[in-house]
A and B are shown apart, each in its own frame.
Chain A
Amino acid sequence: MKKRNKTNKNTKKFVIVPLLMCAAILLVSSTICFPLLSDVFSIGSMFLSDKQVDYSKSFENIFVPTANDSDTVNAKDVDFPSVNKQFGELKIKSCSVNAKLFFGDGKIPLRNGVGVYAGSFIPGYNKTILVAGHNNTYFNGLKNIKKGDTVKINTSYGNYKYRVTAAKIYNAENKKAYDLSKNEENLILYTCYPFDTLGITEKRFFVYAEKVSGPKIVGQYE
């Protein structure tokens, strides 16, 4: 009996002592390395996310054609697009422009169509809509645009028409070419200039259009 107790005591000693020591090592080493570890954790946390990065080159299309011709649409009924999503189409019949309309003007939008600059607005907000496209692909037809031409933008929440008022050429860096703070719905299409040129150009071709019809977005976005 006495021998068995001693054996048990020894067994416990050989298990408990290393476990206690293990906890103590963790505690002491984390205290010693705290300044280094806190730096590593704070830097590392910048690269952590619960959301997986989407490396695919495909895009989501939330555009469903609608026949809605009402004057207003409630903001909560608008499926507000996130970057790289197709939310509409842009057509200019007079100069054969027919392109998918994306939110954002990065790689995916400009390869597959034309894109609304994410710092501007989508149609219906009584603000500036700035749309970019490549001059050798989807916006190549802009070289034939004329004053008075109609630009159509169809979205899932309404169909919009704009009338071309002017076309101008500016240097790429010229910020006077557009006003994103304007409290009036206006559409600006832009692309590189000259058209059909090989290489990167310094100038941009801007097309300005005013709203003719289309629902105004009212209420709060939820």
Chain B
Amino acid sequence: MSILNNQKFTTAMYLILSFILGLCVFFCSILFSLRFTVFSPSYLTDTINSTDYYKDLCGEITDDLLNIGDASGLDKSFFEDFVDEVLVRKDVQYYIDDFYAGKKLEVNSSDFQKSLRTALDRYINQKSLTAEDFSEKSINEFVKEADEIYVSHIELTYFSQIQKAFLSYSFKINIYIGITLAVTIAVILLFFFTNKWKHIAVRYIYYATASAGLVTLIIPVVVFFSGIISKITIISRSLNDLYTACLSSVFTTLIFIGGALIAISGFLLVLHSKMRKNALN
């Protein structure tokens, strides 16, 4: 009776340990997928480059500038090919770099202002406009408003608000990964060192990896099937596409990790049956 009770207690303890291991593996999966996506400085740049972000962004800036051009008496052709994608790329990249470096987020739009002033001078000369046709104040106001439009498009919405919290999490995430990895290794070692029969250790590790793999798979599958990502609506098309691409890739990464865990658990299952057969023989 006492032996039976002892055996039940040991099994319960191992199941609890297996559950803790599963929980750690699951957290580890989530933390790794975040670490290598949103918390990776190159990730956002790569995602931007893999989408039509710059093309859409230049279109949106041009659209808003055309509007201010209409209000300012400029010909439509003035702004049609004005926005320089190379300059936009450079300014957005600086903004992203500053975000990850924890610097104050400010767009240095001096190049944009300079090219706008040059284009305006050329326009005034071409149209032979005189001082009666404009005032320095109205031109300055126009440049100021055009610059505000440009800056507002270069800035990534909500980045300045979340920067502090983001960087704090970015630091903490490494610590959390360290802790979960340490616990994972400790529990695995515990299984092996406290079991005479190694196939039993493998079985409990299988429980943990299979359950962690399932949870890691369930979350993105539910997200994709619910179509929640396609329900995201942000007024700017470029930002909408960028943010949905980012979210999709985070969940796709989770699917890969979940799939890998399921594959590992399959391998453990085969290993377990072989080890068990050997042990019985």
Contacts and interface: CB of A to CB of B under 8 A. Distances in A.
A200 B19 contact: no
Interface string A119-130: 000000000000
Given A25-B19, A29-B26, A48-B228, A197 B218 contact: no
Given A22-B211, A107-B63, A110-B70, A28 B23 contact: yes
Interface string A35-55: 000000000000111111101
Interface stretch (A11-19, A80-88, A173-181): A11-19
A36 to B, nearest CB: 10
Interface string A62-75: 00000000000000
Contacts of A48: 228, 231-233
B23 A25 contact: yes
Contacts of B139: 198-199
Interface stretch (B85-93, B98-106, B127-135, B185-193): B127-135
Interface string A20-31: 011011101100
B202 to A, nearest CB: 12
Contacts of A135: 71, 73
A111 B70 contact: yes
Interface residues of A, number: 35
A47 B233 CA distance: 6
Nearest to A43: B158
A165 interface: no
B72 A198 contact: yes
A168 interface: no
B257 interface: no
A57 B237 CA distance: 12
Given A14-B206, A25-B19, A198 B74 contact: yes
B18 interface: yes
B54 interface: no
A139 to B, nearest CB: 11
Contacts of A51: 233
A200 B133 contact: no
Nearest to B210: A18
Contacts of A53: 233-235, 237, 240
Nearest to A201: B138
A151 interface: no
A201 B63 CA distance: 20
B250 interface: no
Interface residues of B, number: 48
Contacts of B231: 48-50
A136 interface: yes
Choose among A47, A110, A199 the residue with the greatest number of B CB atoms under 10 Å from its CB. Answer: A199
A29 B216 CA distance: 12
A192 interface: yes
B234 A21 contact: no
Contacts of A200: 68, 71-72, 138, 141-142, 145
A134 B73 CA distance: 9
Contacts of A17: 15, 207, 211
B26 to A, nearest CB: 5
A14 B139 CA distance: 75
Contact of A21 (B22, B71, B141): B22
A197 B67 contact: no
A198 B73 contact: yes
A136 B232 contact: no
Contacts of A199: 72-73, 134-135, 137-142
B163 to A, nearest CB: 15
Nearest to A53: B233
A53 B233 CA distance: 6
Interface string B15-56: 100110011001100000000000000000000000000000
B121 to A, nearest CB: 12
19 contacts: A14-B206, A22-B211, A22-B218, A25-B215, A47-B234, A53-B240, A55-B237, A110-B70, A110-B71, A111-B67, A136-B70, A136-B72, A136-B73, A197-B133, A198-B72, A198-B74, A200-B68, A201-B138, A202-B137
Interface of A: 14, 17-19, 21-22, 24-26, 28-29, 47-53, 55, 57, 107, 110-111, 134-137, 192, 196-202
| For the complex of A and B, 6 pairs with smallest distance between CB atoms | A199-B138, A21-B211, A18-B210, A198-B134, A200-B141, A136-B73
